[in-house]
Amino acid sequence: MKYVKKWVAATTLATILLPGVAVPETCVSPYIKGLRQPEKVMYLWTLPASSEGADFLSVIDVNLASPTYSKLLRKVEVGSVGNEAHHMGYTDDRTKIWAASLNTNRFFIFDVATDPMNPRLIRTIDNVSQLTGLTGPHTPYAIPGRILISMASGPDGTGPGGIAEFTNEGEFIASHPAPNHPYETVIKPEFNRMITSSWVSQKTFMSPPSKWDPKDFTDTMEVWDLKERRIIQELKGDPIPLAARWMLTPNATYGYDISNGASTLWMFRMEPNGSFSYRKAADFGTGCGPGDLRQSSDDRYLYVSCFRTGEIQGWDISDPEHPRLADTVQGIVQANMMHLTWDNRRLYVTNSAISSIDYSPRYMLRLIYIGPDGRMKLDPQFSIDFSKVPDGPARPHDMLLN
Amino acid sequence: MDRRARTTCCSISATTPEGGTTRREHRGQLVVSALLGASLLAASGALSFAHEANQRLSAGASWRGIAAHPYLTVIEAAPAFTLRDTANHQFALSRLRGRVVLLSFLYTSCTTTCPLLTQRMALLSDQLKKSELWPSSVSFLSITVDPDRDTAATLVNYARLFDAVDPNWWFLREQTSELRPVLAAYDEWTKKLPDGDIDHPARVYLIDRRGDIREIYGISFFDDRQVLIDIRTLLAEPK
């Protein structure tokens, strides 16, 4: 027995020391199979800049060794217009992508396993609002064998929304009502806790900002007992808490989210008695208007995109209670969605939020390199100009790597 | 007596409150340690999965998130199948109608998640016996996704390793051509890796007495304490 223990200890050490061992991809559901090697392809959920033309999945070569590196290889159109392509999510086994449409409440399911370089649309669910009683689908989020989708509003595009639950294949299971307008979902399985952030109703976010009614803004996050699908606590903070990230260390009790309305970083923490505390942790500066929040896999850095100022901020959270601005990158007008690679070294950035609030027609995909010290540098070469893609300008939003 | 499994980076053990280990747990500790250790000789990809799974499972030592009243709506009807048990007799899922069934997919040369899962299920069967729900109300099924290598004899040996030789826990197989549609019905795809390992989703299905799937577990966060509550919840429903 002693021999076995020594052997296991030695082999454990060997595991740690072996080069090339992948770490989990961040900002996706913890139930999703991890990426085990550098990415080769990016899927980018894209919508035409004009009201004509179908939304499409852009397939982009991100394989450094490829002769077509940094090129848009193909577009997989969904066959319908006006969907407002926005967020996507893998199923737990990473074989399918669920892509949601903010405006038409459709779900598009792509097969990315059969031929990862040639995704195939295998199902479109047109009657989501009838099935779920909900509208404004935002982020698909995997749990074993199923997908949860945060839905902003009720059946007519106003009022509170909820969480819709489907099988991976697209069969409706149930809807779980929420008192606000759910935006994004984050789950910490160790604690059986799910947190949903919130924003505005579908009717509001599909209108020009000049018509937005502040009364429709939410300032709450809901804490759920995941297994019971039951809300157990509401956290109240600054307006429009968008992206939320729970730290990845096993049993980590805390995480962060961004307030779009107040340009602030908030910290949530599960206290020893199981209840959650919620407090402001940092200020991004006047006019930031944060659009996305990403985390490094070692729980050391957060990355924030400032939609209004075109800045990417890197925050050192080694001291979790006292985040420190470590570095910034300027020059990505209306910076919005980001995606950090498995090795924490490359950060992809797109710059379209929603057609109703974009303020620049210079749509692009850019790449930022991140050094071991957290310093960031914009790649001067990697740039896909979506305002000049074939068949007309397009707005790039959410990304997934494979 | 809490005999909760406690996992560390590359070994699994279970203790009594007195700090001792039972025969099953002691054997499971050795078996899982050896199988996981063997993974170190495999490709780094498999290693990363093992490490990832173990890292997640290690969190289980202090999980505080057990739900007393789980939401177990009908997900879908469990796809019917007829396979062969280790005695080469036909075995239909419908035979277990009226019982709660835990259905897993594995392969015996797996060096990562499958042995961990089988150990967890073995511990769960102990809990069910103590609760007098085994063998009266609950059954386990484990289907190999690797019938070419997993002969009936191989499956029997595998079950012995985990003290899982039990008339209420069936290890099932079938010729590849006949197994394939069953795996597809449960979205249990397989992909052979260059090192001989098989990539597969490794989900675990909880099926109620009417034959409906009521919960799907991912192996990385499989918690036998929660599954026990889920089973009790289903058994408390009217027949």
Decide if A11 is inside a domain. no
- pLDDT number for residue B113: 87
More confident residue, A169 or B11: A169
| Closest B-chain CA to A227 | B70
CATH code of the domain in which A178 resides: 2.130.10.10
Judge whether B195 is closer than 8 Å to chain A, CB to CB.
Answer: no
- The nearest CA of chain B is from the CA of A391 a distance in Å of 37
B94 close to A (CB below 8 A): no
Partner-chain residue, chosen from B50, B65, B218, that has the shortest CB–CB distance to A191: B65
Nearest-Cα distance to chain A for B1, in Å, is 22
CB contact under 8 A, A227 and B67: yes
- How many degrees, rounded to 5, is the angle at CA A38 between CA A296 and CA B111? 95
What's the confidence (pLDDT) of residue B116?
A: 92
Does the pLDDT at position B47 exceed 90? no
Instruction: Say how far apart CA B72 and CA A255 lie, in whole Å.
Output: 28
Residue B158 lies in a domain: yes
* pLDDT digits 0-9 by tens, A337-390: 999 998 999 999 999 999 999 999 999 999 999 999 999 999 999 999 999 998
pLDDT at A8 over 50: no
d(CA A327, CA A340): 16
Contact A228 B67 (CB under 8 A): yes
Tell me if B103 is assigned to some domain: yes
- Per DSSP, chain A holds a count of helices (H) and strands (E) of 3, 28
Question: What residues of chain B lie within 8 A of the CB of A113, using their CB?
Answer: 189
DSSP B71-132: -----EEPPP-EEE-TTS-EEEGGGGTTSEEEEEEE-TT--SHHHHHHHHHHHHHHHHHHTT
A316-345 pLDDT, tens digit each: 999 999 999 999 999 999 999 999 998 999
Residue range A71-105, pLDDT digits in tens = 999 999 999 999 999 999 999 999 999 999 999 99
Name the closest residue on chain A to residue B230, using Cα atoms: A227
**Cα dihedral value A233, A236, A242, A246, nearest 10:** -50
Among the listed residues A140, A229, A129, A126, the one whose alpha carbon sits nearest the alpha carbon of residue A183: A140
Is there a domain that residue B44 lies in?
no
With 70 as the cut, is the pLDDT of residue B43 above it?
Answer: no
**Nearest CB to B10; choose among A8, A113, A169:** A8
Q: Is the pLDDT of residue B18 over 70?
A: no
Residue B63: pLDDT over 80: no
Q: Give the mean pLDDT of B53-72.
A: 63
Question: Is residue B161 less than 8 Å (CB to CB) from chain A?
Answer: no
Q: In chain A, how many domains are there?
A: 1
Q: Which residue of B has its CA nearest to A175?
A: B73
Kindly identify which residue of chain A lies nearest to residue B43, measuring between CA atoms.
A21
Does any domain span residue A103? yes
What pLDDT score does A25 carry?
Answer: 75
Instruction: List the domain range (segments joined by +) for residue B196.
Output: 68-235
Taking every pair of Cα atoms in chain A, the longest distance, rounded to a whole number of angstroms, is: 72
How near does any CA of chain A get to the CA of B91, in Å?
A: 25
pLDDT level of residue B97 (50, 70, 90 thresholds): very high
Expressed as residue numbers, the domain containing A212 is 26-401
**A139: pLDDT confidence band, cut at 50, 70 and 90?**
very high
Per the structure block, which two tokens stand in for A16?
Answer: 């740690």
Share of chain B above pLDDT 70, in %: 73
Residue A9 lies in a domain: no
Residue B126 pLDDT > 60, yes or no? yes
Predicted confidence band of residue B31 (pLDDT cuts 50, 70, 90) = low
CB atoms within 10 A of CB A213: 11
Phi, psi of A202 (to 5 degrees): -60, -40
The shortest CB-CB distance from B47 to any of A1, A21, A113 is to A21
CB A326 within 8 A of CB A345: no
Residue B117 has phi, psi (to 5 degrees) of -65, -45
Q: What is the pLDDT of residue B45?
A: 36
- Give the pLDDT of residue B2: 33
Structure ipTM: 0.92
**CA A342/CA A25 separation, integer angstroms:** 5
Looking at chain A, which residue has its C-alpha nearest residue B75? Answer: A173
Q: Considering only alpha carbons, which residue of chain B is nearest residue A91?
A: B201
**Within a domain: B23:** no
Q: Is residue A18 part of a domain?
A: no
Q: Is residue B163 part of a domain?
A: yes
Q: How far is CA B68 from CA A48, A169, A228, B228, in A?
A: 48, 29, 8, 10
Compute the average pLDDT of residues B108-133.
Answer: 94
Q: Do A15 and B76 touch (CB under 8 A)?
A: no
User: Dihedral, CA atoms, B170, B176, B177, B183, nearest 10 degrees?
Assistant: 60
| CB atoms B45 and A18 under 8 Å | no
Mean per-residue pLDDT for A3-13? 31
Asked whether the bond before B147 is cis by omega within 30 degrees of 0, the reply is no
Say which residues have a Cβ less than 8 Å from residue A67's Cβ, sequence separation at least 6. none
Q: What is the CA radius of gyration of chain B?
A: 17
Q: What is the CATH number of the domain that holds B211?
A: 3.40.30.10
Query: What domain count does chain B have?
Result: 1
Interface contact flag, B47 A18, Cβ < 8 Å: yes
B52: chain A residues, CB-CB within 8 Å: 24, 34
In the block, tokens 């386990």 appear at: B140
- In this complex, the residue of B52, B60, B66 whose CB is nearest that of residue A24 is B52
CA distance A79 to A101: 13
Cβ-Cβ contacts under 8 Å, B44 against chain A: 18-22
CA of A22, closest CA in chain B: separation in Å?
A: 6
Beta carbons of B203 and A145 less than 8 Å apart: yes
